[in-house]
Structure 1
Amino acid sequence: MNTHLLPSTAPHHDEIAIDGGVPLKMWTRGVPVESEALQQLTNAARLPIVFHHVAAMPDVHLGIGATVGSVIPTFKAIIPAAVGVDIGCGMMACKTTLRAEDLPDSLGPLRAAIEKAVPHGRNPERRGRDHGAWETPPDEADAAWAGLVDEFDAICADYPKLKNTNNRKHMGTLGTGNHFIEVCLDEAGAVWFMLHSGSRGVGNAIGTRFIELAKEDAMRNDVHLPDKDLAYFEEGSQYFGDYVRAVGWAQKFARANREVMMQRVIGAARQVIARPFETHLEAVNCHHNYVQRETHFGEDVFVTRKGAVSAKKGELGIIPGSMGARSYIVRGKGNPESFESCSHGAGRKMSRTKAKKLYTVADQIAATEGVECRKDEAVIDEIPMAYKDIDAVMAAQGDLVEVVYVLKQVVCVKG
């Protein structure tokens, strides 16, 4: 890989010149970056459609095709695999009038009420009813679905296989992996609810289908790519408009999914917590796996944030730690060099497989002390030590965001 570091007068980022491509700008001082992730960033920077430079956030780590924690601006084209299959995945948080002292002494019943209110996880054998989906969706889920179904039906008219997905029955559900629901306290003792999820089964089906189509397109047109997962649609091509419509719809589904879950979480909390309370004193709902049209450096481009959050000047965002670490509500500084973006979390420093080999249930129990959460073998891959140090990640992006609130979870529900 022919790269070399350029001198930089910027306070927080380094610039790497890429032979045959645009530069990389890296906000990674003080945090580890895998050589494989750097190679993925280099591959993206060499695509002819990439505009100006590629920005790497401090939580950057290996992904499929495109690196998680990257911001890739493209001119008159979109890379479906850079958006990924968890289209619109993101965070929602809201501050309440509750105080720490208003929470019950035992948080087990609160966690149980949330787990009952929001379907989560999935059946490992994929037999029987999916307990991560609704059998009969509640009214709030159906109300959200009603606002999306007409556009979905129009998309399915061209792509009928998308109809055979969990769509309506996944509205208002959590999923698996690193998706979570938390009850948190800020530094002043105020209670927050926070959650992380995306477009669920239907978004996965949309992403998977269009990634396949992009690869087929590249093969048919004899496009030479540094990685086949970086296949892209150009404006005016057969599937470009269909993808823009479908990915936009999936991002709307993801946002609505988080809103429905938040309603359900608040309702569950009201059943357990005796004190009446108000919510949404402050609220944030932000994507971190998505694409949208924006203007940067005087050009109208598509910006794909894969594991990155919009951080326009004054805009609120959420940067979660792991299930045993702090999370941050931040305000963007609108730094043009990062395409007005910041990290989406701590970022993994090892694979799920490696975490399960390295750590035990005892390690998980110790690492999540004081948090009411699952502490069993199935969630060892989410152990805090599998993630980068969130404090180092925050220090590396001091010119991208300012911290507004620091949150620490007391309840964590995992898929």
Structure 2
Amino acid sequence: MGNKLSGRDLIKLGFPKNNTINIALGQINRYRKKEKKESILSEAKEVLLYPEKFKNHGTWGKLAEGLVNPVQVKLQQLRNSRVPFSIFGENEIEEQAKFQLYDALKLPIAVQGALMPDAHSGYGLPIGGVLATDNAVIPYGVGVDIGCRMSLSVFDLPASFIKGKEEQLKAILSDHTKFGMSETHKVKADHEVFYREEFKNIPVVKQLLDKAYKQLGTSGGGNHFVEFGVVNLQETLPEWKLEAGEYLAVLSHSGSRGFGANIAKHYTYLATKQCPLPKNVQHLAWLDLNTHDGQEYWMAMNLAGDYAKACHEDIHRRIAKALGKRIALTIENHHNFAWKEQVNGKECIVHRKGATPAAQGELGIIPGSMTAPGFIVMGKGNPEALNSASHGAGRLLSRGKCKVTFTQGQIKKELKEHNVSLIGGSVDEAPMAYKNIHTVMELQKELVSVLGTFTPKIVRMDK
């Protein structure tokens, strides 16, 4: 008997010949390859005899599900027509992003869609795309960076605090923020998120615990940042401890790091295996929430979102400690996620890939660029936008286009004109690569109201 378990071994035990065996083998060979074949086969026999007992099991759940409710994998056909949708700022959006939404609107699970004014093309759903689906979740509708989010901390310190302290604030960002693939904090922090049951019960999540622990409180590359700036609160809300006025603030943008990326990769693979689609829409493969994998992804996605939130909490805690000041107010939101929400009286899964939740009275932060203000907003709960708004200004030029269009000299000149200091950063993230945030905000007046602005002063990005 060879050491590696094969499909033949499971078929010999009496398992039916179907796709479920291939999926189960992938799980076993990936997460339990160090165990003896005999003990795995003994457990497999138990699964065959009593599949109900293993319905939610990390390794055997999918196989048990296949025994209780066999499902035939077949090519999914798109509808001939699109479900209802709205586009905000249509003239500002490239055609490819619109066509990506049009394809998504023909999925048999689609209920309603929307496109935000900062939209541009991506994988699966376009960035700035919102899609409500019927009891199904699309991993690429959430995005690779699950739980990518904004977090704004406002200190009870006047804006004038920055004057004369630029070097001190630069040093704080240099010393207490980490970016990219390899930078981590020397002194690691603990967090309650690491004690969640998902880290024990879901094999792919369990395997990522060490990576998640090491990367807590760090930011990704690309357009992720941590920056000091000036917040102008134009209104005083009852729940805020601050009056209208100008204050020192920290704004961060990042997601769930390698932890979320690996979850996205794993479940996208499972979705494409179980939900074959025509080639032009294969990135929109979904997981039915009534299945083992659908439920597992939902739990893993929510955990990744909470981990992203924990990362921001740790970043802001470190900065506040270095400043020796307490945070007076925090405003935060995901913009790469899926939520269970009511759409026309029915519970749907609402995917926002690069879109800010903007339900009635919901607070959020929509950044501009490193030389343009961000906006503190309150949602108006517009049903045509599926209670959403843009997640930023949106790209005008791709990263590749930036490299052949702009020079470091041009970027330095732009930064100097706006009195902004930059630590790190690359040509890909040139401020000129982004749409005009004021135009974008004008195009979503019916989606959000503005409560204040954030103007960047000292920006830290990956090198």
TM-score by length of 2: 0.76
Query: 1:253-297, CA deviations, whole angstroms, 9 ceiling, x for partnerless residues?
Result: 111111111111212233xxxxxx5422x3212100001111121
**Percent of paired sites with the same residue:** 34
Q: Tell me whether 1:57 sits opposite 2:113 in the alignment.
A: no
Task: Give the counterpart letter for 2:151 in structure 1.
Answer: M
Partners in 2 of 1:330 and 1:192 — Cα distance? 16
1:67-146 mapped onto 2 (5 Å cutoff)? 67-122=126-181, 130-131=182-183, 133-137=184-188, 141-142=189-190, 144=191, 146=192
* SS of 1:194 mapped into structure 2: strand
* SS of 2:309 mapped into structure 1: helix
* SS of 1:325 mapped into structure 2: coil
| 1:202 aligned partner | 259
User: Residues 106, 362 of structure 1: CA spacing in aligned structure 2 closer, same or farther, 3 A cutoff?
Assistant: farther
User: Residues 250, 389 of structure 1: CA spacing in aligned structure 2 closer, same or farther, 3 A cutoff?
Assistant: same
User: Residues 390, 160 of structure 1: CA spacing in aligned structure 2 closer, same or farther, 3 A cutoff?
Assistant: closer
Q: Tell me whether 1:48 sits opposite 2:96 in the alignment.
A: no
Partners in 1 of 2:397 and 2:389 — Cα distance? 21
Partners in 2 of 1:205 and 1:212 — Cα distance? 11
Q: Tell me whether 1:34 sits opposite 2:94 in the alignment.
A: yes
User: Residues 168, 365 of structure 1: CA spacing in aligned structure 2 closer, same or farther, 3 A cutoff?
Assistant: same
The one of 131, 147, 151 equivalent to 2:197 is: 151
| Native 8 Å contact 1:151 1:249 kept in 2 | no
User: Residues 108, 121 of structure 1: CA spacing in aligned structure 2 closer, same or farther, 3 A cutoff?
Assistant: farther
| Native 8 Å contact 2:382 2:447 kept in 1 | yes
Q: How many residues align?
A: 370
Partners in 1 of 2:119 and 2:201 — Cα distance? 33
Partners in 1 of 2:207 and 2:82 — Cα distance? 36
1:159-238 mapped onto 2 (5 Å cutoff)? 159=204, 162-163=207-208, 166-187=211-232, 188-219=245-276, 223-224=277-278, 226-238=280-292
Query: 1:170-219, CA deviations, whole angstroms, 9 ceiling, x for partnerless residues?
Result: 11111211111111113443211111111111111001111111111123
Query: 1:67-125, CA deviations, whole angstroms, 9 ceiling, x for partnerless residues?
Result: 00011101011111111110000000022111122224251331221221122233xxx
Query: 1:372-406, CA deviations, whole angstroms, 9 ceiling, x for partnerless residues?
Result: 113x7x51111111111100100000000011001
Partners in 1 of 2:299 and 2:147 — Cα distance? 13
Q: Shift in Å at residue 159 of structure 1?
A: 2.7
| 1:383 aligned partner | 430
Partners in 2 of 1:360 and 1:109 — Cα distance? 28
The one of 61, 67, 86 equivalent to 1:25 is: 86
| 1:273 aligned partner | none
Partners in 2 of 1:19 and 1:397 — Cα distance? 30
| 1:266 aligned partner | 320
Partners in 1 of 2:404 and 2:264 — Cα distance? 30
| 1:371 aligned partner | 420
| Native 8 Å contact 1:373 1:412 kept in 2 | yes
Q: Which is helix-richer, 1 or 2?
A: 2
Partners in 2 of 1:164 and 1:403 — Cα distance? 39
Partners in 1 of 2:257 and 2:141 — Cα distance? 17
| Native 8 Å contact 1:162 1:205 kept in 2 | no
Q: Tell me whether 1:309 sits opposite 2:356 in the alignment.
A: yes
Q: Shift in Å at residue 38 of structure 1?
A: 1.2
* SS of 1:345 mapped into structure 2: coil
> RMSD over aligned Cα, in angstroms?
1.9
* SS of 1:113 mapped into structure 2: helix
| Native 8 Å contact 1:47 1:225 kept in 2 | no
The one of 356, 367, 377 equivalent to 1:330 is: 377
User: Unaligned 5+ residue runs, structure 2?
Assistant: 1-78, 233-244
| 2:327 aligned partner | 279
Partners in 2 of 1:368 and 1:151 — Cα distance? 46
| Native 8 Å contact 1:320 1:328 kept in 2 | yes
Task: Give the counterpart letter for 1:43 in structure 2.
Answer: D
Partners in 2 of 1:228 and 1:171 — Cα distance? 32
User: Residues 361, 106 of structure 1: CA spacing in aligned structure 2 closer, same or farther, 3 A cutoff?
Assistant: farther
* SS of 2:393 mapped into structure 1: coil
Query: 1:337-362, CA deviations, whole angstroms, 9 ceiling, x for partnerless residues?
Result: 11111111001111101011100011
| Native 8 Å contact 2:204 2:263 kept in 1 | no
Partners in 2 of 1:192 and 1:217 — Cα distance? 46
Q: Tell me whether 1:243 sits opposite 2:243 in the alignment.
A: no
Partners in 1 of 2:93 and 2:163 — Cα distance? 42
TM-score by length of 1: 0.85
